[in-house]
A and B are shown apart, each in its own frame.
Chain A
Amino acid sequence: MIVSNSIIQVEHLSAAYQKNTVLTDINFEVKAGTLTSIVGPNGAGKSTLIKTMLALHPTLTGKVSFFGKSFEKAKKQIGYVPQRGSVDWDFPTNALDVVTMGLYGKIGFFRIPMKKDKQKAFEALEKMGMSAYANRQISQLSGGQQQRVFLARALVQEADLYFMDEPLAGVDASTEKAIMAILEELKKQGKTVMVVHHDLQTVPEYFDHVLFLNHTVYAHGTVEETFTDSNIIKTYGGNMSWLREGDKNVVHTTS
């Protein structure tokens, strides 16, 4: 069919929550080494898309392949950063330990993390500017710091493809910068990243590809070509007006 360097192929994917169909006939392909933001209004199914692709939510129809393989076979090459709120931050453990968890799949059963594993985890924390907090209990970290720990945990997985669910939601400016620097670095290493993103303003600055989602794909492509007013209006519906005020893009909701 299509011969390309696409590493993700999604064909006719759909998913539902009981009666409500959340995703309808999703089709897209993602090329290696790209940084894609998934944008769309609330309830558009952005998180569901990621979860369905990673087999964390049942598929109604369609199929997804990674590197030309099924998810099961490509699992080890994929890293997933869930929303920060998905875990209990009161869990009795420290930052370094959480990052080390990213290596548990590789370490395997019946073996404890070695010094070199801890070292690797520490380096990842260092990269996120969190080395000073390695022994800090996770309950005592700020929201931004927790997000950095999550990112560091994804880094140690050394995956080729990353999915991140709202990594920039509710974090401070310096954390946002640190995270984006890491994403740029991943891209330079030839890795592929898909990010659920809520802030339209920063799309052109942070990403090279954009996928407009509102139950189905409205547009998908490079930011230069695809990130247009008409696509934004199409995706966000008539209730939304999109104004360019000088350099700033502002979304006004009329509802």
Chain B
Amino acid sequence: MTFTAWIIVTAALVGLSCGLMGVFLILRKQAMMADAISHTVLLGIVVAYMVSQQITGMSMLIGGILAGLLTAFLVQSLHSMKVRHDASLGIVFTTLFAIGVILISTSVGNVHLDVQHALMGEITFIPFTTTYVPGLGDIPKATLLLMVVLLIVVFFIIVFYKEWKITSFDPVLAASLGLPVLLLHYLFMTLVSITTVASFDAVGAILVVAMLITPAATAYLWTDRLMLMLILSGGFGVLSAFIGYGIAAWLDTSISGAMALTTGLIFIVSFLSSPTHGLLSRWVKPKQLI
């Protein structure tokens, strides 16, 4: 495949996994958790680097997942001490991120870890580090990682579909039925972290946040059915990857940035025109009734 094809495939994979996770994220009213985890993952990667003295997919993944879980745990703990949820989130992620930045600027030095790079992501470099997979040929490492992550995400969504649904809709009922609500919460946060870390190196933190929240919110404007919402959200994520690449190529600018912008453009179009929950529906519907 060409470089362009690999870039688009990688971004589409990000769009798909983030789109699926994002649906549950916003239904659980945890949208800003995406923002928090995508930032604290930096700390996890830095610490993983300090411990293992190398940047491999595995150490990064473990470091990032631990950082994500630590974030979820600290936010949960502060919240149980009566700090408001959004305030806990703001305190935890900025502090962990600050520690990450300090570690980078002091001990780790100027390796591959560049804060700016991590935040903006440079998907352009993805096709350069490839690995051989039997049957598929040489494929970029980041792409392979994202494929595995997508499989994991899909697997867990299917296996625990009804549990995600009930704990998102009515956690109190779930608890009174004897479901392990807290365990499921952390499992969910682990999945969000895995998705974030895998996408992080490929596309940067900000595009991860955009892909996690915006396509799911867009899908929420189109449907009242969970299954359809998942499909639409994944679809919007992939669509953003394609259109975003087109814009970036046309203007010769940051690919991740353009893809993030595209998720927003698709949202705005839906916000205005969705027949069920869009803005236009409010003006059009009453007329139809008359």
Are A and B in contact, CB atoms below 8 Å, in the complex? yes
Show the binding face of A for B, using Cβ within 8 Å.
Answer: 18, 54, 56, 75-76, 78-80, 82, 86-88, 91-94, 97-98, 101-102, 104-105, 107, 109-110, 112-113, 137, 139-140, 153, 157
Name 4 extra pairs, CB < 8 A, besides A82-B170, A93-B165: A79-B176, A92-B27, A92-B223, A101-B165
A104's partner among B166, B168, B220 (CB-CB below 8 A) is B166
> Does residue B161 face the partner (Cβ distance < 8 Å to A)?
yes
Question: Is B172 touching A104 in the complex (CB atoms < 8 A)?
Answer: no
Asked if A87 meets B163 with Cβ closer than 8 Å, knowing A92-B220, A104-B177, A105-B177, the reply is no
Which 4 A-B pairs rank lowest in CB-CB distance, beginning with the nearest? A105-B177, A137-B224, A80-B176, A91-B169
Question: Is B172 touching A56 in the complex (CB atoms < 8 A)?
Answer: yes
Annotate B173-193 by CB proximity to A: 1 below 8 A, 0 otherwise: 111111100000000000000
Q: Write out the residue numbers on chain A whose beta carbons fall within 8 Å of the beta carbon of B160.
A: 109
Q: Write out the residue numbers on chain A whose beta carbons fall within 8 Å of the beta carbon of B228.
A: 92
Asked if A54 meets B226 with Cβ closer than 8 Å, knowing A101-B165, A107-B162, the reply is no
Question: Is A76 touching B178 in the complex (CB atoms < 8 A)?
Answer: yes
> Does residue B229 face the partner (Cβ distance < 8 Å to A)?
yes
Question: Is B176 touching A54 in the complex (CB atoms < 8 A)?
Answer: yes
> Does residue B136 face the partner (Cβ distance < 8 Å to A)?
no
Nearest CB in chain B to that of A91: its residue: B169
For chain B, residues 194 to 225, give those with C-beta under 8 angstroms from any C-beta of chain A: 220, 223-225
Asked if A87 meets B179 with Cβ closer than 8 Å, knowing A92-B225, A109-B160, A112-B161, the reply is no
Asked if A75 meets B170 with Cβ closer than 8 Å, knowing A92-B224, A137-B224, the reply is no
Q: Give A78 to B176 CA distance when docked, in angstroms.
A: 8
Question: Is B229 touching A92 in the complex (CB atoms < 8 A)?
Answer: yes
Question: Is B170 touching A87 in the complex (CB atoms < 8 A)?
Answer: yes
Q: Write out the residue numbers on chain B whose beta carbons fall within 8 Å of the beta carbon of A97.
A: 165
Q: Give A87 to B174 CA distance when docked, in angstroms.
A: 12
Q: Give A109 to B156 CA distance when docked, in angstroms.
A: 12
Question: Is B169 touching A98 in the complex (CB atoms < 8 A)?
Answer: yes
Q: Write out the residue numbers on chain A whose beta carbons fall within 8 Å of the beta carbon of B179.
A: 104-105
Min CB gap A25→B, angstroms: 25
Question: Is A91 touching B172 in the complex (CB atoms < 8 A)?
Answer: no
Q: Write out the residue numbers on chain B whose beta carbons fall within 8 Å of the beta carbon of A102.
A: 173, 177
Question: Is B226 touching A109 in the complex (CB atoms < 8 A)?
Answer: no
Q: Write out the residue numbers on chain B whose beta carbons fall within 8 Å of the beta carbon of A88.
A: 29, 169
Question: Is B176 touching A91 in the complex (CB atoms < 8 A)?
Answer: no
Nearest CB in chain B to that of A163: its residue: B176
Nearest CB in chain A to that of B219: its residue: A92
> Does residue B5 face the partner (Cβ distance < 8 Å to A)?
no
> Does residue B159 face the partner (Cβ distance < 8 Å to A)?
yes
Min CB gap A56→B, angstroms: 7
Asked if A75 meets B224 with Cβ closer than 8 Å, knowing A104-B163, A109-B160, A109-B163, the reply is no
Q: Write out the residue numbers on chain A whose beta carbons fall within 8 Å of the beta carbon of B163.
A: 104, 109
Question: Is A101 touching B178 in the complex (CB atoms < 8 A)?
Answer: no
Task: Name 10 A/B residue pairs within 8 A (Cβ), A-sorted.
Answer: A87-B169, A92-B27, A92-B220, A92-B223, A92-B224, A101-B162, A104-B179, A105-B177, A137-B224, A140-B224
Question: Is B176 touching A75 in the complex (CB atoms < 8 A)?
Answer: yes
Q: Write out the residue numbers on chain B whose beta carbons fall within 8 Å of the beta carbon of A79.
A: 176
Question: Is B226 touching A93 in the complex (CB atoms < 8 A)?
Answer: yes
Question: Is A91 touching B27 in the complex (CB atoms < 8 A)?
Answer: yes
Min CB gap A163→B, angstroms: 9
Nearest CB in chain A to that of B225: its residue: A92
A101's partner among B29, B169, B220 (CB-CB below 8 A) is B169
Q: Which of A94, A104, A137, A140 has the most CB of B within 10 A?
A: A104
Q: Give A122 to B90 CA distance when docked, in angstroms.
A: 44
Q: Give A104 to B174 CA distance when docked, in angstroms.
A: 8
Min CB gap A137→B, angstroms: 4
Q: Write out the residue numbers on chain A whose beta carbons fall within 8 Å of the beta carbon of B172.
A: 56, 80, 82, 86
Q: Write out the residue numbers on chain A whose beta carbons fall within 8 Å of the beta carbon of B29.
A: 88
Q: Which of B162, B172, B173, B224 has the most CB of A within 10 A?
A: B173
Q: Write out the residue numbers on chain B whose beta carbons fall within 8 Å of the beta carbon of A109.
A: 160, 163
Min CB gap A109→B, angstroms: 7
Q: Give A86 to B170 CA distance when docked, in angstroms.
A: 8
Q: Write out the residue numbers on chain B whose beta carbons fall within 8 Å of the beta carbon of A157.
A: 177
Question: Is B175 touching A56 in the complex (CB atoms < 8 A)?
Answer: yes
Q: Write out the residue numbers on chain A whose beta carbons fall within 8 Å of the beta carbon of B225.
A: 92-94, 137
Nearest CB in chain A to that of B226: its residue: A92
Q: Give A98 to B173 CA distance when docked, in angstroms.
A: 11
Q: Give A75 to B175 CA distance when docked, in angstroms.
A: 10
Asked if A101 meets B27 with Cβ closer than 8 Å, knowing A93-B165, A137-B224, A139-B224, the reply is no
Q: Give A91 to B168 CA distance when docked, in angstroms.
A: 9
Q: Give A79 to B177 CA distance when docked, in angstroms.
A: 8
For chain B, residues 263 to 286, give those with C-beta under 8 angstroms from any C-beta of chain A: none
